[in-house]
Structure 1
Amino acid sequence: MVLGRLITFACAESLSPIRTNWLTKIFVSGDVLSFCMQGIGGSMLSRSSSRNLGEKIIIIGLVLQILFFGVFMVTSAVFHQRLAVNPTAVSIMAPWQKYMFALYAVSALILVRSIFRIAEFAEGQGGALQKSEVYLYVFDAILMLLVMFTQLVRGRLDRL
């Protein structure tokens, strides 16, 4: 949603590789599909007979999430490069790049978290990543705290 609004604000729809009215639809749909797959896999974990299949479905959902997220990151980078080369009148006057860099920072944190989640489920229930809470704090909780902090700082910069 942030990327779509930034594209619209900069009057740069022609520079986006994906039309702005499709951005949210595509990436939210991918996220919902991924979430549903993870939920189905999670429900299967409760039954010992389908535990292995449940872990595989969760991993497939997480990989799908990373694929959609990768396409989002490429879309963002292509738009950024195009706007830097062919700035619009609005983009010349507005600090649009700070929003892009905040988007990149948040995206990188979320990507690291997603990769951690794949490793966590690939190891299985007996793996070190699921046995020790420190990994969950470092690669999940702290990363999401940094995402919120980055967005808070970006929001505060808007008021300056």
Structure 2
Amino acid sequence: MNDSTPAKSATARPASALVSAEGTTTIADTVVSKIAGIAAKEVTGVYALGGGGGRGLGAIRERIPGARTNSAQGVSVEVGETEAAVDLDLVAEYGVSIADLASGIRRNVISAVERMTGLHVVEVNVVVNDVHLPQEDVVVEPVEARVQ
């Protein structure tokens, strides 16, 4: 059989809408980080993103009037021309299945990043640093001053 079509390479990269004859689209790491962070926070069972120190700084920043929430806190990414990899550090709600939570996060992050950027997400690594307990939300009422 004489087939005149060229053989496809097993290592050929998938076609991307980001690279075309008309030009190249480059997406910054911060864009992918924000998308991934927002997508991860949408999953029920995620209490917060970031490790202890990062969450502490984030809590201080949120109390400053006019300051914006950092959607990329606890998110690190590697972005190439057509692919991205995402690492997430988070705190889970007590009582959720961490395996199910990680699976849901992966599904949501991959869907959001691929849909919004056109990048192929090759991996989403999830690190659970802590578990949030409901009693940690107890608000202590300020004590009234005895002298006014």
Q: TM-score, normalised by structure 1?
A: 0.22
Q: Which has the higher strand share?
A: 2
Q: Which has the higher helix share?
A: 1
Q: TM-score, normalised by structure 2?
A: 0.24
